[in-house]
């Protein structure tokens, strides 16, 4: 199985590139985000590779980081998510953003991926909440907020996030802003204080 390729970019197409490795051209499928950030044709590139082997074909998928590859694998562990949908999600969200979206239960952000409807987005968030790759950095504040919100019990943190969401902010941004407020004011801060600090953070 191929786990990594290092070579020279030959051509870049809409959904794949040809990577020349010592004269052999490998066709590697990538997310649009990865393709946009590749070096220009003729320049060197290194990609982490996920190899899919079927009876009638072998297909290679390329990633700029191990975290991106791990999320590609994890996303496909959810029923209804194939390689195409997983790449679509990784096109609209960075690996770290996927981790934060899953941790905070932001179904709307996941649903931005092509082919991801509300039900599938909810399933992805639910099934992957506790499965973030070790290589993916997750803000501890966001993780704590997600854990607090998941208990269903009232708390200043959960109430502050809910208030910001009701004001029209996406849940991931609201959670990140409240996490910053908790770092600034401490875990005993009141809901009003966290809302004020969260709004200040969002206004930057």
For residue 121, the domain's CATH number is 1.10.150.20
Q: Which of 64, 79, 94 is the last residue of a domain?
A: 64
Number of independent structural domains in the chain: 3
Least confident of 49-58, 102-111, 144-153, 175-184: 144-153
pLDDT beyond 90 at 45: yes
For 155, list phi and psi in degrees, rounded to 5.
-155, 160
DSSP H or E segment with residue 12: strand 4-12
pTM of the predicted structure, to 2 decimals: 0.67
Cα distance between residue 101 and residue 133, in whole Å: 14
> Which residues are paired to 47 by β-bridges?
5
Out of 138, 164, 187, a domain closes at 138
In a shared domain, residues 116 and 152 = no
Q: How far apart are CA 38 and CA 101, in angstroms?
A: 25
Per-residue confidence band for 28, with pLDDT thresholds at 50, 70 and 90: very high
- pLDDT tens digits, 106-145: 888 899 999 999 999 999 988 887 676 654 554 555 555 5
What is the Cα–Cα distance from 20 to 10, expressed in whole angstroms?
Answer: 6
Among 16-20, 160-164, 166-170, name the one with the lowest average pLDDT: 166-170
Domain identity same for 73 and 131 = yes
Do 165 and 197 belong to one domain?
A: yes
Out of 33, 49, 64, pick the residue that ends a domain: 64
Beta bridge partners of residue 29, listed in sequence order: 16, 61
The confidence score (pLDDT) of residue 153 equals 46
**Residue 119 shares a structural domain with residue 170:** no
Residue 102 sits in the same domain as residue 150: no
Q: Could you list the residue range(s) of the whole structural domain that residue 102 is in? A: 66-138
146 pLDDT more than 70? no
The angle, 0 to 180 degrees and rounded to 10, between the axes of the packed helices 95-104 and 171-185 is 80
Per mean pLDDT, which range of 14-23, 68-77, 188-197 is the poorest?
A: 188-197
| 93-106: pLDDT as tens digits | 988 888 878 877 78
Same domain, 72 and 110: yes
Looking up residue 36, the CATH number of its domain turns out to be 2.40.50.140
Q: Looking at residue 152, what is its pLDDT?
A: 46
């Amino acid at each position: 199985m191929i786990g990594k390729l290092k070579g020279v970019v030959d051509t870049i197409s809409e959904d794949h590139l040809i990577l020349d490795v010592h004269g052999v051209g490998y066709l590697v499928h990538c997310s649009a985000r990865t393709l946009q950030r590749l070096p220009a044709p003729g320049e060197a590139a290194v990609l982490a590779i996920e190899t899919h082997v079927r009876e009638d074909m072998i297909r290679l998928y390329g990633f700029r980081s191990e975290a991106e590859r791990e999320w590609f694998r994890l996303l496909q562990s959810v029923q209804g998510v194939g390689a195409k949908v997983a790449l679509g999600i990784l096109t609209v969200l960075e690996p770290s953003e996927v981790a934060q979206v899953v941790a905070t239960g932001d179904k709307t952000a996941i649903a931005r991926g092509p082919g991801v409807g509300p039900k599938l987005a909810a399933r992805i968030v639910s099934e992957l909440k506790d499965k973030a790759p070790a290589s993916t950095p997750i803000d501890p504040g966001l993780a704590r907020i997600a854990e607090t919100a998941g208990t269903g019990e009232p708390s200043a943190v959960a109430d502050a996030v809910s208030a910001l969401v009701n004001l029209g902010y996406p849940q991931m941004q609201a959670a990140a802003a409240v996490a910053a407020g908790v770092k600034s004011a401490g875990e005993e801060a009141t809901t009003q204080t966290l809302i004020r600090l969260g709004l200040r953070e969002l206004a930057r």
